A and B are shown apart, each in its own frame.
Chain A
Amino acid sequence: MQKVIRGKAFVFGANIDTDQIYPGRYLELTDPHEVAKHAMEGIDPGFVKEFQSGDIVIASTNFGCGSSREHAAVALKAVGIGAILADSFGRIFYRNAINLGIPLLVCPHIHGLVRKGDILRIDLTTGLVTNETSGATAQAQPLSDYVMMILERGGIKPMIKKQYGQKE
Chain B
Amino acid sequence: MHAIEKILAEAAGKESVTTGEIVNCHVDLAEVNDLYLQTIRSFYEMGGKKVQDPKKITFILDHYAPASTIQQAENQKQMREFCREQRIELLFDVDQGVCHQVMADHGLVYPGMVLVATDSHTTIHGAFGAFGTGVGATDLATIMITGKLWFRLPEIIRINLEGKLPKGVYAKDIILKVIGELKADYAVYKAVEFTGPAVKTFSISERMTLCNMTTEMGAKTSYIQPDQNTFDFLKGRVKRDYKIFASDPDYLYGAEHSYDVSKCQPQLAAPHSVDNVHPLEEFIGKPVQQAFLGTCTGGRVEDLAVAARILKGKKVHPGTRFLIVPASKGVLLEAMAKGYMQTLVEAGATFVTPGCAACLGTHQGILAAGETCISASSRNFPGRMGHPKAEIYIGSPASVAAAALEGEIADPTQYLDCTGISFLDTDVHRLPG
Q: Interface residues, chain A, CB within 8 Å of chain B?
A: 14-15, 17, 19-20, 23-25, 27-30, 42-43, 61-62, 65-71, 73-74, 88-92, 95-96, 99-100, 144, 146, 156-157, 160-161, 164-166, 168
Contact = CB atoms under 8 A, between A and B. Distances in A.
B38 interface: yes
A67 B273 CA distance: 14
28 contacts: A19-B381, A19-B383, A23-B361, A27-B360, A27-B362, A28-B69, A28-B75, A28-B362, A29-B71, A42-B382, A42-B388, A62-B185, A68-B118, A69-B35, A70-B38, A70-B138, A74-B38, A91-B218, A92-B120, A92-B135, A96-B135, A100-B138, A146-B150, A157-B42, A157-B46, A160-B46, A160-B146, A161-B47
A18 to B, nearest CB: 9
Nearest to A34: B71
Lowest 4 A-B CB distances belong to which pairs? A165-B47, A70-B136, A96-B136, A62-B185
B146 A19 contact: no
Interface residues of B, number: 49
Contacts of A95: 135-136, 139
A19 B379 contact: yes
Nearest to A60: B185
A66 B123 CA distance: 12
B142 interface: yes
Nearest to B36: A70
A15 B36 CA distance: 23
Interface string B30-48: 0000011110011001111
A164 B384 CA distance: 38
A166 B50 CA distance: 8
A61 to B, nearest CB: 5
Nearest to A70: B136
B63 A27 contact: yes
Contacts of A61: 185
Interface centre among B36, B136, B138, B382 (most CB of A within 10 A): B136
Interface of B: 22, 35-38, 41-42, 45-50, 63-64, 69, 71-72, 75, 118-120, 134-139, 142, 145-146, 150, 184-185, 188-189, 218, 220, 273, 275, 360-362, 379, 381-384, 388
A160 B142 contact: yes
A30 to B, nearest CB: 5
Contacts, number: 135
Given A69-B35, A69-B136, A156-B138, A89 B188 contact: yes
Given A20-B381, A92-B136, A161-B46, A146 B22 contact: yes
B381 A166 contact: no
A156 B137 CA distance: 12
Nearest to A61: B185
B185 A68 contact: no
Contacts of B150: 146
B47 A164 contact: yes
A20 B46 contact: no
B138 A68 contact: no
B383 A91 contact: no
Contacts of A30: 37-38, 41, 75
B47 A166 contact: yes
Nearest to B75: A28
A67 B139 CA distance: 15
A80 B60 CA distance: 32
A62 B119 CA distance: 18
B143 to A, nearest CB: 10
Given A42-B388, A68-B118, A160-B146, A20 B189 contact: no
Contacts of B42: 157
Contacts of A25: 361-362
